[in-house]
Every structure is written in C-alpha cells, then in structure tokens.
Amino acid sequence: MASKPTGTATLIDSKKLHDLEVKDAQFIFQSVWTLLEEELGEENLRFPKEIFWLNGAPGAGKGTNTDFIMRYRDLTAPPVVVSELLKSPEARKKIDAGMLVGDREVIEIILRKLLEPVYQTGAVVDGFPRTKVQVECVKLLFNKLVSLRNKYADTLFAQYFKKPHFHIVVLFVDEKESVRRQLYRGEQAKLHNDEVGESGVGELMEVRATDLDSAAALNRYRTFKEKTYGALKDLREIFFYHFINAHGTIDEVRRRIDKELRYQGSLELDEATYDRLSSIPIASTLSKHARQDLVDRLDSYEQCNADLFEKVVNTINHVFMPIIQRHAISGMAVVNTEDPVFHHEQALAMLIDIFSERGYHAIIDVHREEVPDSIDPKTFKIKTRIKPVYRVRVQFTGSEIRRGR
C-alpha cells in the first residue's frame, strides 16, 4: 500500500522547485545580459534610474492608474506595457517562426525597451514580473545596476549609472470584486462595440474572453493570486514594496497611491548625498513642538530680560501697529525702522516671537547703509559709518470687501 506524501516531502519538493527556478533565472538573465553587452558595450547599458514594476489583480485598475503614477513621479516616457510589447514586430517574428515567447524572450524585449534614451530618468513597467523566474530576473537586474554604479563611480560615465531605485507596486482587490470588475469591463466594451458597429463612429475596444465568462474571470484571478502575487511577495524585503488597496472609487485609490509613493529622501537619495543633507532638520519636525517652544521663549524674555522685552513691545505698539492697521485689508505691511533697540540681537528674536504669538508672520531683512558721519578738518576727508535699517514685512489674514453689483 502506497504511503501518503508527508509535509516534509512537500517542503523539500517546493525547495527543489524554487532552486530550479533560481538557476533558470540566472541562466536566462545572464544569456540576455551577455548578448546586450556584446552588442552594445557595457558602458552603454544605461537603464532608468527609477523603475516602477506595476502589477495587480485583474480589474484592480492598473491601466486606469498608470498615468496618475507617472504624473505623480514626473515621468514623461510612455509606460512599458508588457502585453503590448508581445505584439511588437520582434515578438511577432519569433511567433511567426514557430518559436515560443518564453521568459528569456520577454526579458530581452523588456531590457531592450528600457535601454531606449526616453526612459533614462524613469519608467513604469506594466505587467511584470509575473512568475518566480521573472522575479529572480528583476533581482539580478538590480544587482547588475548596483555593480555598474560601483564600477563607474569615479569615471566620466558616473552620471549614467546612478543608484537604482526599484518600486514594486501591487494594486489589490479581492476575488469577488475582481470578478465583478472584469465582467463589468467586458459588458461595457461589448456595448461600446455594438454602438460603433451600428453608427460606424468610433474605434472598437478589445474584448478579453475572460471578461465575458465568470468562470474564466475567476480562474484568471486565482492564477494571479497563486502565481504572480506569491512571487511578488519575495521582493518585499529587497525593494520599495507598495501594496495598495484598490477597492473604492478612483479618487480613494489615488489618495492611497499618493500616500504610498510620497517622497522619502532617506530611501531614494544616494547615501553620500543623504549624509550631506541630514544635518538640516526636516520642515515637518520644526513645527512639531513649535507652539510650546514659542511659549517657553516668551516667558524667558519676561523673566530674564524684562527691560528689553518691554521696549520691543512698546515699539511694536507705537511704531508698527499704526502702519499695520492701515493695511488691514491687504493683510501685508512693510515697516522700516532704525530704532536702536534692535541693535540688540535678541530684540529681533523677540519681535518675531511677539508677532507669531499674536497671529502675525514677521520676516526681517537688515540693510546696512554707509552714510556720511563727519569731515576731517585737516584732510577734509569724509568719514562714514554703517547705519542699519531694519525692514520688517508683516503678514496676516486680511479682510475681504464684498462688492455690490
């Protein structure tokens, strides 16, 4: 009597399969890379600095949101749509010759496309990777680009081999929603094509067979979940991995994309560049405790330097406020003063903090003018002195005038 396979045996078989897929990927990728290297030269293998590998469940909205992602990241080159590449003359030539367009051919077509100069600053690749072999090839490409960056770092070619940034973007919907969207898409495409057929106006839309049959739509989703989604999860620990809930309206999904793809300097800048900039605080951290810090400073002025504090308050009341009040509608006033109270450095800090506490925004610009001071009676040479002029721009919420007809 044959014994049932054990869980351990299943794990071993799974590991063997994974090892075979990794070896296949290494062989496939290296053969394509060697071909490109011999054909173009290593120094000309200039891939995009930033690549978004866009994937998602059927009906999750990849096509709908591709343009939004591109605009969000200032990418101007058209997306690399893998399904369209397989309709290219190169792919058709292989198909017409009776050859299968397997992983090797797909990898070659994609890499050649990404080498086009238009993609130098960045690219969105729609529909790749989808299998474990393709996932391994993405890892190998990244490693190659890092290796090229290190090799050419101190050469004239350094500008072409920047630190690579790979983003894995997965738009996800559950099984029920995916099937519903696929069938709705098929229904809408069919209605559109019927109208075009009757009127003779417009272009026919492609109707996928899986969009017309619920069983086929369900099978397509399960294939994605079992093969593509499972393979993509291997990239979570290596690259920027953006898992986006694609349920809801287009605006809701785009808000999630916006939040997920927001710029992060520590992750995207070159390490040396980030280290150079990191001593400067991020703006959002400055405002974190700004209110309490302002209160503490104002209290310290009163406790430690009350005389100067009083003089600054009096100057604001008697010199600044009459001018500011005359600009109540515009919400902005510029006051020039030569008051010696501001020769004291802390007085300028007090001025800014007092205005901030009262709801104004004050910006101070110090102009130093050279003016005649005296004449030497022996040489008649004019002696000059530096006169500081404090130009204070005060902004606040102005008043609107409602006009009649």
Q: State how far the Cα of 293 lies from the Cα of 287, in Å rounded to an integer.
A: 10
- For the beta sheet containing 332-337, the strands, ordered from the edge strand earlier in sequence to the opposite edge, are 332-337, 382-395, 361-375
What's the mean pLDDT when you consider all of the chain? Answer: 86
**3-state DSSP percent of the chain in helix, strand and coil, to 5:** 55, 15, 30
CATH for 297: 3.30.110
Residue 386 lies inside a defined structural domain of this protein: yes
Q: How many domains does the chain have?
A: 2
- As a whole number, mean pLDDT of residues 113-124 equals 93
**Same domain, yes or no, for 268 and 294?**
no
Q: For residue range 226-258, what is the model confidence (pLDDT) as tens digits?
A: 888 888 888 888 888 899 999 999 999 999 988
DSSP per-residue codes, 347-365: HHHHHHHHHHHTT-EEEEE
Q: What is the pLDDT, as a whole number, of residue 30?
A: 94
Residue 47 lies inside a defined structural domain of this protein: yes
Residue 4 lies inside a defined structural domain of this protein: no
Q: Domain boundary residue among 213, 247, 280?
A: 280
pLDDT tier at 3 (50, 70, 90 boundaries)?
Answer: very low
Q: Domain boundary residue among 256, 280, 304?
A: 280
pTM of the predicted structure, to 2 decimals: 0.65
Range of lowest pLDDT (53-57, 105-109, 205-209): 205-209
Res. 12: pLDDT tops 50: no
Better pLDDT: 2 or 43: 43
Range of lowest pLDDT (2-16, 300-314, 342-356): 2-16
Q: State how far the Cα of 102 lies from the Cα of 86, in Å rounded to an integer.
A: 11
Neighbours of 232 (CB within 10 A): 24
Q: What is the pLDDT, as a whole number, of residue 396?
A: 94
Identify the H or E element spanning 34.
Answer: helix 7-40
Better pLDDT: 283 or 107: 107
CATH for 182: 3.40.50.300
Residue 354 lies inside a defined structural domain of this protein: yes
- As a whole number, mean pLDDT of residues 19-28 equals 76
Res. 268: pLDDT tops 50: yes
Q: For residue range 285-309, what is the model confidence (pLDDT) as tens digits?
A: 777 778 889 999 999 999 999 999 9
Q: State how far the Cα of 137 lies from the Cα of 24, in Å rounded to an integer.
A: 9
**Same domain, yes or no, for 167 and 309?**
no
**Same domain, yes or no, for 221 and 87?**
yes
**Same domain, yes or no, for 168 and 255?**
yes
**Same domain, yes or no, for 349 and 250?**
no
**Same domain, yes or no, for 33 and 108?**
yes
Residue range of the domain that includes 151: 11-280
**Same domain, yes or no, for 344 and 195?**
no
Neighbours of 354 (CB within 10 A): 20
Res. 177: pLDDT tops 90: yes
Give residue 59's identity as a one-letter amino acid code. Answer: G
Q: State how far the Cα of 131 lies from the Cα of 137, in Å rounded to an integer.
A: 10
Q: State how far the Cα of 316 lies from the Cα of 313, in Å rounded to an integer.
A: 5
- As a whole number, mean pLDDT of residues 389-397 equals 94
Better pLDDT: 303 or 17: 303
**Same domain, yes or no, for 240 and 325?**
no
**Same domain, yes or no, for 26 and 167?**
yes
Q: Which two tokens stand for residue 52?
A: 């978004």
**Same domain, yes or no, for 295 and 273?**
no
**Same domain, yes or no, for 164 and 22?**
yes
**Same domain, yes or no, for 34 and 141?**
yes
Q: For residue range 121-167, what is the model confidence (pLDDT) as tens digits?
A: 899 999 999 888 999 999 999 999 999 999 998 899 988 998 888 99
Res. 1: pLDDT tops 60: no
